[in-house]
Every structure is written in structure tokens, then in C-alpha cells.
Amino acid sequence: MALRSSHWYAGDDRNSYLHRAWMRRGLPRDAFTGERPHIAIANTASDLTPCNSHLDEVADSVKQGVWAAGGVPLNLPALSIGETNVRPTAMLWRNLAAMATEEMLRANPIDGVVLLGGCDKTIPSLLMAAASVDLPAVVVPGGPMLTGRFRGVALGCGTDVWRLSEEVRAGTLSREAFLESESSMIRSRGHCNTMGTASTMACMAEALGMTIPGTSGTPAPDSRLLERSHDTGRLAVELVREGRRPSRVMTRASFLNAIVTLAAIGGSTNAVVHLLAIAGRLGVELTLDDFDRTGSGVPLLVDLQPAGRHLMEDLFRAGGLRAVLNEVADLLDPSAVTVTGRPLTDHLAGAEIWDDTVIRRRADPLLPDAGIAVLRGNLAPDGAVVKPAAASPELLRHRGRAVVFDSVEDVHARLDSPDLDVDETSVLVLRGCGPRGYPGMPEVGNLPLPAKLLAKGVRDMVRISDARMSGTAYGTVVLHVAPEAAAGGPLARVRTGDPIVLDVAARRLDVDLPEAELAAREPVMTGHARPVRGWERLYVDHVLQADRGADLDFLTGSSGDAVGRESH
Ligand code: FES
Ligand code: MG
């Protein structure tokens, strides 16, 4: 079968000369004779994405593997998004990164691709791109960082920033101690070491079949990551030779396996949005309700922050994702094939748990049924999500008075005021923070608790918003309310003082008011002004709601790997 890259390099005419001549630069002559697959390494290394800054070294090992298997490796810098730096929110740029990578893969003489990601949005954007081009593709997750310690206590990235800063606000930790902990938080290269979004999406990539099984969760500084990177480079060449494409790997069965995995690891709510977006690129039928149907009933086995105690290094030492999946192997669909050409379930034999305080056994789960609960009601007609594992059990059924905030600025201005009319039974509502409203659906849903309640010892309250929350955060937080307030969702009609009823067991989220009264109110469509130009304008005009993965409407589906018209 002719390689795709042959459309550029084969022949003896002016144009093939042109394509070859500029690419030679020391490449051997037989790089262009049509036998050696050209493998792009879509590399999100960037100094401004600190979690991915080591990926050039990973890319070097991938290259060695590609060469060893007879391919030609080519570095392709990919748009990189650093979760902690990028404003107004990294999520605003996920679709842009996906679009840019998709287009560059299609436009170039490439036969297959190795995707290098780590920080939250990078693996999702790479998978969305790969799904839409459908070139043979495989992921190497950059891996979590090692555990940092402060005053003898392990620090969880993200999770402990939220916890320690609340301790400062509550007056139980000095600001000096808080700032001293700063240099201990990030001990090594790699992404956040909690079961936040980066760790979750690495596990999702593996559960979808898009990594060599056993790769995800390998700590970034661990030599075994480079070994796996070498193996992945070799595999990429095989993928091209076998014609094994993402559409064959990421089937509905793989997505359902990913949902089971998400529940068993206690993964981030952000995975819901990302998996829906990836499925949308493949035309795989996947809905919000699949998360609830397939995920609830799955036991929570991984005792990692924010739902539990440990960190990613512990998970790897305890046996890693394969050991977790082996415990729930009966819940996985054996028909879902991985990049190896064999089913995911084939790769689980012999995966042992070495520390069952980190990976609990099936008979002794942390929670008998975990997963993501999908709520509906007159406040969220198209759905909202809550992660019971990260919530306070006593708040999962709750009735309280709404305290409504129209923006994060409004939260900052009023939350700590001694005059704010709020108590621990109140329900904090934040709106105007959805995909269109912010814009970009930032991680502000876990809004802080009012200082006066913190001082009283309150550590959790029901919070509701159209935003997301960091995968490293915790609390009884209802997120992704759809439609969002800025799209005219019912959240826009709630007022301070309204009785809100949350009933997670019944999967309901309602405001206890007559429908007519609600409908008669003028909606408060807060949010940012419509951007005048550029990406933000395109984004706001085309972004889908959270229940559709917050992709752009014209980016759903696939354009395949069609070779464009000649450039000269
Ligand atoms: Fe990059 Fe957490 S900030 S993974
Ligand atoms: Mg995050």
C-alpha cells in the first residue's frame, strides 16, 4: 500500500523534487522512496507549559524508536496550553489547539503521529485532532511529577493549594508557612501528581486504547517513561504498516471502557467534557447519560487526592492503571481494541496490586459506586454533573437558599463581606462562567467558602455553576450546568433567596418555584461582552454547550487524512 507521504515525495517531476530537496538535511536517500513511514511527533513541549517542558527528551526517545523500526521521525511542535498560566482559561484554547494540530497533520507529508501531551488540555486537544484526521496515532503521556513534601507532609498539586489557601483564610495557617510551601509543591518535571485532569486524561488515553497499555502514570522522571517512548516510536511505524487508525481504536466500546475507568480511578469531572468532544470528532454516539449509566455502580478503587489520600507516584508503585483495570476487568468491553491491535482486556493479565491501601481490591472499595452523577431538573434541563466521591455525603441531598453571584469578580467583591447574608445551609450559585459566558468555561465552579463560615469551621457547602472545576478540587460542587446562563439557561433566572433542591440519588437539581414564575423573570445573561475579533469571537459564536463537549459546532466530525492540492 502506498504511503500517504508518497503523494509528496514519489516521482521525478519538479514538485516531488521540491518536497524532497528541502527535507533532505541529512536524511538518508531511502527516506523518500516510499518504504519508510514518516511519523510526526506532535510535541506540546513549551517552557510556558511547565508540566510539558520535558517532552523534548521524551520526543528523542520516540525518535530512536521510529528509526529503529524503519520509520522517519519528524518533530512537529504543537500548540501547547499551560493550565496555570493561560488566561482567561486554558479551556478557551483547547479547540484552537485541536484545530491547529488537525490542520498541520493533514497539510503535511505525514503517515502517522505520536502525540506527546501532559498538562490538562494537551492530551484532549491532541486526541481531538488525531480523531478528526484519523491518521494512525498513539499517545505518550508525559507523566506525573514526583511527590513533593513540606514539613514532612506530602503535597498534592492543586489540591493542597486549595486546601492550604483556605487554611490561611480560616486563620489556621500563617501566610509565611503557606508561601514557604510554594517551592516544595513542584518537586520534579511532569504534570500534577493528584488525580486531577492531567492524570485522568492520561488514564483516559490508555483506557481508550490510545497508549501502549501500562504507559500512563509512569512518572515523568522515571527511566521507564523513556523506554515506553522508544517502544511507542516503534509501534507508530507498525500502526502505519497495519493501517490501524484512531477510528478503529476509539469506538463506542472504548469510550464505555474509559467511563468505567474514570469511575474506578475517581477521575476529574473535566474528563466528561473532553471525552464528549473526542467522541464528537469520531462520530461515536456518546451522551452525558452514558457517564451515569455506565459509571455508576463502578467501585472507586484508587485512593488518590482529591477524592482520597495518595498521589500518582503511589499509584504507579502500587501497580498502576493496569492493576486497577484488572480489578474491574469484568466491567470492561473485551471487544475494544487498543493501538497494539489487541483488546485492552488482553493486556491486564498478571497486573498485580502491590499496595492495596493505594489501589483497593474489588471486595474493599473506597466507595461501592462512584462515577459521575448527571443531574437534570428545572435548573439544568440539558444536564449538570457532580462527582459524589469528592463531595460531602451529607450534602448530596440538600435544600437551601440561593446566594447568587453574577461573575467571579462579584464573588471576589462580596464573598468575604461580613454583611453577606449566608449560612452553611445556603447554596452558592455562580453564573456567567460557561463556555460562552466567560468565555471558555473556566475552573471557577468550586468557588471558595465565605470567610465567616470558614472561621466557624465550615469546610463544604453546595455550590452550583455553569463553570468547570479543577480536577484537583473537591467539595459538593454541581458543575457544567447546561444550558449556561449566557445562553439563556434557567440559571439566568435564579435570584438570591430562591429555594434550591439538590437530590443526587434522584439525579435532580431544581429551584422550588412555579415554572410560570421562573419563566416570567427577566434572565440575567451575565458574561463577558461579545468579543470583537479573533479566536474569541469565533469561539463564542460557535461553541457548543458543556453537554456536547464544548467543541465548536463546525469542528465536530472528521475530515480524514485527505491529501490537499499541490502547493506549487
Ligand atoms: Fe499542568 Fe496541573 S497544571 S497538569
Ligand atoms: Mg486544571
Residue 280 to residue 286: CA distance in whole angstroms: 8
pLDDT tens across 68-82, in order?
999 999 999 999 999
Instruction: Give the ligand at the shortest distance from the Cα of 312.
Output: 1
Q: How much is the ipTM here?
A: 0.90
DSSP letter, residue 279: H
Protein residue with its CA nearest to atom 2 in ligand 1: 192
Instruction: Please tell me the predicted confidence (pLDDT) of residue 186.
Output: 94
Q: 470 C-alpha vs ligand 2 centroid, how far in Å?
A: 4
DSSP 453-486: HHHTT----EEEESS---TT--SSEEB--SS-GG
| Closest atom of ligand 1 to CA, residue 157 | 2
Report how far ligand 2's centroid is from the alpha carbon of 121 (Å). 8
175: left (phi over 0), alpha (psi -120 to 50) or beta: alpha
Residue with CA closest to ligand 1 atom 1 = 119
Distance 120 CA to ligand 2 centre (A): 6
Residue among 87, 120, 155 whose CB has most ligand 1 atoms within 8 A, to mutate: 120
Q: Kindly indicate the confidence band of residue 471, based on its pLDDT and cuts at 50, 70 and 90.
A: confident
Distance 159 CA to ligand 1 centre (A): 11
Q: How far is the CA of 119 from the centre of ligand 1 (A)?
A: 5
CA–CA dist 151, 164 (Å, integer): 13
pLDDT in tens, 215-270: 999 999 999 999 999 999 999 999 999 999 999 999 999 999 999 999 999 999 99
Half-sphere exposure of 130 (CA within 13 A, CB side): 30
533 HSE (CA, 13 A, CB side): 0
pLDDT at 283 over 70: yes
Highest mean pLDDT among 26-30, 342-346, 527-531: 342-346
If you average pLDDT over residues 501-508, what whole number do you get? 97
> Which residue among 47, 51, 86, 443 has the greatest number of ligand 1 atoms within 8 angstroms of its CB, and so is best to mutate?
51
Q: Strands 373-377, 380-386: parallel, antiparallel or unpaired by DSSP?
A: antiparallel
Mutate to test the pocket of ligand 1, among 44, 191, 201, 216 (most ligand atoms within 8 A of CB): 191
Does residue 86's CB lie within 6 angstroms of at least one atom of ligand 1?
no
DSSP-H helix ranges across 208-336: 223-242, 246-249, 252-265, 270-282, 288-295, 312-317, 320-327
Beta carbons within 8 Å of 36's beta carbon, 6+ residues apart = 30, 70, 71, 72
Predicted confidence at residue 528, as pLDDT, reads: 75
Q: Is the CB of 196 under 6 A from ligand 1?
A: yes
DSSP E strands in 69-162: the ranges are: 72-77, 112-117, 137-141, 148-150, 153-155
Per-residue pLDDT reduced to its tens digit, 505-545:
999 999 999 999 999 999 988 667 889 999 999 999 999 99
User: Does the beta carbon of 51 lie inside 6 Å of ligand 1?
Assistant: yes
pLDDT of residue 49: 98
Q: Which residue has cell 523518500?
A: 32
Under 8 Å between Cβ of 322 and 292: no
Query: Model pTM?
Result: 0.97
- Ligand 2 centroid, distance to 49 Cα (angstroms): 12
Q: Give helix then strand counts, H and E, for the chain.
A: 20, 14
Residue 82 CA: which ligand 1 atom is closest?
A: 1
Confidence of residue 2 (pLDDT cuts 50, 70, 90): very high
Sorting pLDDT into bands at 50, 70 and 90, what band is 318?
very high
Q: 113 CB under 6 A from ligand 1?
A: no
Ligand 1 pocket test target in 119, 159, 161 with most atoms within 8 Å of CB: 119
327 CB within 6 A, ligand 1: no
- The stretch 15-30 carries a mean pLDDT of 94
Would you state the pLDDT for residue 526?
67
What is the predicted pLDDT for the residue at 158? 87
Q: Which atom of ligand 1 is nearest to the CA of 84?
A: 3
The string of pLDDT tens digits covering residues 103-131 is 999 999 999 999 999 999 999 999 999 99
Query: Mean pLDDT over all residues of the chain?
Result: 96
Residue 511 has φ and ψ, to the nearest 5°, of -105, 130
- Looking at residues 145-149, what average pLDDT do you find? 96
Nearest CA to ligand 1 atom 3: 83
Residue-wise pLDDT tens digits, 403-453: 999 999 999 999 999 999 999 999 999 999 999 999 999 999 999 999 999
pLDDT grade for 296, boundaries at 50, 70 and 90: confident
The closest-lying atom of ligand 1 relative to the alpha carbon of residue 197 is 4
CB 265 within 8 A of CB 322: no
Question: For residue 186, how far is its CA from the centre of ligand 1 (angstroms)?
Answer: 10
Three-state SS for 19-69 is HHHHHCCCCCHHHHCCCCCEEEEEECCCCCCHHHCCHHHHHHHHHHHHHHC
pLDDT at 307 over 90: no
How far apart are the C-alpha atoms of 427 and 80, rounded to whole Å?
A: 37
Under 8 Å between Cβ of 377 and 508:
yes
Report residue 370's pLDDT band, with 50, 70 and 90 as the boundaries: confident
